[in-house]
């Protein structure tokens, strides 16, 4: 809904064409059953890596290459850690 309110349309992720997916506190099985599952499965079949950031071991977290089981309320600390590594190693463009 945030995309529609901000940009006037819904963004559709192109999971099937990516090499790495990061699902942060997002459980597509529960939020939109069936909507993105086939695209995510196709991406995994094509060799994409899956990273799930969620305190719960959801069905999608079980399929992840990396499941980051953070404690509730520590999302900002993880995001700042990511930003620190990106800036320190000049991984930005």
Please tell me the pTM assigned to this model.
0.78
- Is 22 part of any domain? yes
- Is 7 part of any domain? no
Q: Is 90 left (phi over 0), alpha (psi -120 to 50) or beta?
A: left
| pLDDT tens sequence across 65-79 | 999 999 999 999 999
Q: What is the mean pLDDT of the chain?
A: 87
Q: Say how many domains are in the chain.
A: 1
Q: Is the pLDDT of residue 81 over 80?
A: yes
- Is 26 part of any domain? yes
Residues 20-47: what's their mean pLDDT?
A: 84
- Is 64 part of any domain? yes
Q: Kindly give, in sequence order, each residue whose CB lies less than 8 Å from that of residue 55, ignoring residues fewer than 6 positions away.
A: 69, 70, 71, 72
Residues 16-33: what's their mean pLDDT?
A: 84
- Is 93 part of any domain? no
- pLDDT bin (cut points 50, 70, 90) of residue 1 is low
- For 82, the domain range is 15-88
Task: Tell me the CATH number at 72.
Answer: 3.40.228.10
- Is 1 part of any domain? no
């Amino acid at each position: 809904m945030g995309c529609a309110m901000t940009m006037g349309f819904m963004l559709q992720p192109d999971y099937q064409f990516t090499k790495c997916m990061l699902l942060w506190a997002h459980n597509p099985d529960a939020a939109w059953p069936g909507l993105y599952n086939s695209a995510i499965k196709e991406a995994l079949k094509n060799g994409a890596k899956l990273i799930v950031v969620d305190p719960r071991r959801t069905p999608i977290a079980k399929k992840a290459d990396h499941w980051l089981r953070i404690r509730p309320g520590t999302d900002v600390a993880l995001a700042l850690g990511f930003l620190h590594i990106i800036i320190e190693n000049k991984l930005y463009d």
